[in-house]
Chain A
Amino acid sequence: MAARKPAEKSNVSRDELLKYYREMLLIRRFEEKAGQLYGMGLIGGFCHLYIGQEAVVVGLEASAKEGDKRITSYRDHGHMLACGMDPKGVMAELTGRIGGYSKGKGGSMHMFSKEKHFYGGHGIVGAQVPLGAGLAFADKYLGNDNVTFTYFGDGASNQGQVYETYNMAEIWDLPVIFVIENNQYAMGTSVKRSTKSTTLYGRGLAYGIPGEQVDGMDVLAVKAAGDKAVAHCRAGKGPYILEMMTYRYRGHSMSDPAKYRTREEVEKMRSEKDAIDHVRDMLLQAGLATDDELKAIDKDIKAIVNESAEFAKESPEPPLSELWTDIYA
Chain B
Amino acid sequence: MATQVLMPALSPTMEEGTLAKWLVKEGDVVKSGQILAEIETDKATMEFEAVDEGTVGRILVAEGTGGVKVNTPIMVLVEAGETVTDTPKAAVVAVAASAGEAPASVAAAPVAAPPAPVVAAAGWPHSDLPEGPTKTMTVREALREAMAEEMRADPTVFLIGEEVGEYQGAYKISQGLLEEFGPRRVVDTPITEMGFTGIATGASWGGLRPIVEFMTFNFAMQAIDHIVNSAAKTLYMSGGQMGSPIVFRGPNGAAARVGAQHSHDYAAWYAAIPGLRVCMPYSAADAKGLLKTAIRDPNPVVFLENEILYGRSFEVPTDPGFAIPFGKASILRPGTDVTIVSFSIGLTYALQAAEELAKEGISAEVINLRTLRPIDYDTVLASVQKTNRCVTVEEGFPVGAIGNHIGAVIMQRAFDHLDAPVVNCTGKDVPMPYAANLEKLALTTTAEVIAAVKSVCYR
Contact = CB atoms under 8 A, between A and B. Distances in A.
B235 A328 contact: yes
A210 interface: no
A122 B238 CA distance: 11
B198 A129 contact: yes
A113 B234 contact: no
B204 A134 contact: yes
B13 interface: no
Contacts of B201: 130-131, 134
B237 A137 contact: no
Contacts of A132: 202
Contacts of A103: 239-240
A135 B237 contact: no
Contacts of B225: 124, 127
Contact count band on A: 35 or more
Contact of A165 (B198, B203, B277): B198
A106 B239 contact: yes
Interface stretch (B4-12, B69-77, B186-194, B284-292): B186-194
Contacts of B229: 123-124, 127
Contact of A135 (B202, B236, B298): B202
B202 A106 contact: no
Contacts of A329: 235, 240, 243, 245, 298-299
B206 interface: yes
Interface in A208-242: none
A110 B241 CA distance: 12
Interface in B228-263: 229-230, 234-243, 245
Contact count band on B: 35 or more
B202 to A, nearest CB: 2
A12 interface: no
A133 B298 contact: no
A122 B202 contact: no
A101, A112, A139, A171: residue with the most chain B Cβ atoms closer than 10 Å: A112
Contacts of A206: none
B27 interface: no
B202 A119 contact: yes
A164 B191 CA distance: 9
A130 B236 contact: no
B23 to A, nearest CB: 35
Nearest to A164: B195
A68 to B, nearest CB: 12
A259 to B, nearest CB: 30
Interface string B204-224: 111110000000000000000
Contact of B299 (A106, A142, A164, A328): A328
Contact of A160 (B194, B200, B204): B194
A46 to B, nearest CB: 14
B459 to A, nearest CB: 43
A327 interface: yes
Interface in A94-109: 100-106
B110 interface: no
B57 interface: no
B198 A112 contact: no
A326 B299 CA distance: 11
Contacts of A164: 190, 192, 194-196
A75 interface: no
A9 interface: no
Nearest to A143: B184
A102, A121, A127, A161: residue with the most chain B Cβ atoms closer than 10 Å: A161
Nearest to B238: A112
B205 A119 contact: yes
Given A130-B197, A326-B239, A135 B203 contact: yes
Contact of A138 (B197, B202, B236, B243): B202
B275 interface: yes
B158 interface: yes
Contacts of A168: 189-190, 192, 195-196, 199
Given A134-B204, A160-B194, A164-B195, A141 B158 contact: yes
B274 interface: yes
A315 interface: no
A123 B196 CA distance: 19
B140 interface: no
Nearest to A113: B241
A103 B237 CA distance: 9
B198 A325 contact: no
Which are the 7 A-B pairs with shortest beta-carbon distances?
A134-B202, A130-B198, A138-B206, A164-B195, A102-B239, A103-B239, A329-B298
Given A133-B199, A137-B206, A141-B158, 20 more contacts: A102-B241, A103-B239, A112-B234, A112-B237, A112-B242, A120-B234, A124-B225, A127-B198, A130-B197, A130-B226, A134-B202, A138-B202, A138-B205, A142-B206, A161-B198, A167-B190, A326-B239, A328-B298, A328-B299, A329-B299
30 contacts: A71-B202, A101-B238, A105-B237, A105-B239, A106-B238, A106-B239, A112-B237, A114-B242, A120-B238, A121-B237, A134-B200, A134-B201, A134-B205, A137-B202, A137-B206, A138-B203, A141-B156, A142-B207, A160-B194, A164-B194, A164-B195, A165-B199, A168-B192, A168-B196, A325-B240, A326-B236, A326-B239, A326-B240, A328-B235, A328-B298
